[in-house]
Amino acid sequence: TRQATRIDGKAEAERLRLRIGGEAARLLALHGAAPGLAVVLVGEDPASQVYVRNKGIATRAAGLVSVEHRLPVSASQADVLALVATLNADPAIDGILVQLPLPQQISAKAVIEAIDPAKDVDGFHPVNTGRLWTDGGGLVPCTPQGCMLLLAGVRERLAGLNALVVGRSSIVGKPMAALLLAADCTVTVAHSRSRDLPALARQADILVAAVGRPAMIRGDWIRPGATVIDVGVNRIDAGQGKTRLVGDVAYDEAVPVAGAITPVPGGVGPMTIACLLRNTMIAAGRRRGWGELD
Ligand code: NDP
């Protein structure tokens, strides 16, 4: 039987990180400085601590400068805004990432809007959102950016293809839809209020799932030959007191139908951090007049 191409996000991310590492070494030799990324963690959320640690490791491994700032869970919004202002003004810092979620006394909106858009490597500032939906040229959110890079690896031409994005969050679904539209796809965005999701999915040459519901998208929803990008990360019970990660797509059902599919784990996930480093390079190139780095 036919089998979908397994899109190896881990290998793709490794290649991207190596390329960024080479570029960082070149910049260091040329300018005596490497791009710098500051990550701000407020509080002690265990998942956030893991993310921040992994970001720091990946940043240093690529030869970029990583700075971590930890504030107590009791920090005030003014404390966070003061730190952001310091980082905005620091010429050695090219990228600022404030790890979400923030403790409830702090408005994520206020903090995101305080970040210099030129240093907003998460791409969440309204200026970058606006650029994404208009003529581009801003910093693009990491996860959808990674999805587009994976798509480019298996699809030579996206123009005219029907794309369905399931999920409309500001960090994945909406920016994903904007990128597919900019790539000349015919884009549909589905969400919890959409009717007849299976029928919408069967029209899709490209199906991006960003929902957060394990194996919600079934094999018989998938158009034969479609490219399936599974952003979902769901921890499920695997029996015997163990858990495992699965995506939003029923992978085993999808494999005989799809043309290509990302696994979970090992698909979109690794690309997200690689794209954070990529955004830091791009931001550094623009801010420091080092040219348009990629
Ligand atoms: P959100 O919870 O913010 O958004 C989920 C979206 O799915 C919402 O738009 C919601 O609709 C929609 N939805 C919920 N139930 C249904 C349903 N039954 N049918 C159709 N749509 C539905 O999640 P995120 O966008 O932040 O993340 C999505 C998934 O991607 C999660 O599993 C997350 O862990 C993962 N993720 C992975 C990353 C990676 O690097 N690999 C990075 C970021 C996220 P509505 O708007 O109507 O509520």
To the question of pTM greater than 0.90 for the whole model, the response is yes
CATH code of residue 221: 3.40.50.720
Decide if 164 is inside a domain. Answer: yes
* Count: domains in the chain: 2
Shared-domain flag, residues 197 and 242: yes
Shared-domain flag, residues 234 and 185: yes
Decide if 252 is inside a domain. Answer: yes
ipTM: 0.99
**Measured from the CA of 211, which atom of ligand 1 is nearest?**
7
Decide if 256 is inside a domain. Answer: yes
Decide if 9 is inside a domain. Answer: no
**233, 235, 262: which to mutate for ligand 1, most atoms within 8 A of CB?**
233
Shared-domain flag, residues 205 and 250: yes
Residues making up the binding site for NADP(+):
167-169, 233
Residues lining ligand 1, CB < 6 A? 143, 166-169, 171-173, 190-194, 197, 210-213, 231-234, 268-269, 272
Decide if 191 is inside a domain. Answer: yes
Q: Tell me, what's the pLDDT at 7?
A: 98
Shared-domain flag, residues 258 and 147: yes
Shared-domain flag, residues 152 and 266: yes
Q: Which residues pair with 249 in a beta bridge?
A: 217
Q: Are 268 and 7 in contact (CB under 8 A)?
A: no
Shared-domain flag, residues 112 and 147: no
Closest by CA to 279, choosing from 139, 99, 131, is: 139
Distances 154 to 225, 231, 260, 278 between C-alpha atoms, Å? 12, 17, 7, 20
Interatomic CA distance for residues 100 and 275, integer angstroms: 17
Shared-domain flag, residues 150 and 241: yes
Decide if 83 is inside a domain. Answer: yes
Q: Are 230 and 258 in contact (CB under 8 A)?
A: no
Q: Quick: pLDDT tens for 52-105.
A: 999 999 999 999 999 999 999 999 999 999 999 999 999 999 999 999 999 999
Ligand 1 center to 169 CA (angstroms): 6
259 CB neighbour count, 10 Å cutoff:
18
User: Residue 117 — very low, low, confident or very high, per pLDDT cuts 50/70/90?
Assistant: very high
The domain in which residue 166 lies consists of: 142-270
Q: Quick: pLDDT tens for 233-274.
A: 999 999 999 999 999 999 999 999 999 999 999 999 999 999
Q: Are 70 and 59 in contact (CB under 8 A)?
A: no
Decide if 36 is inside a domain. Answer: yes
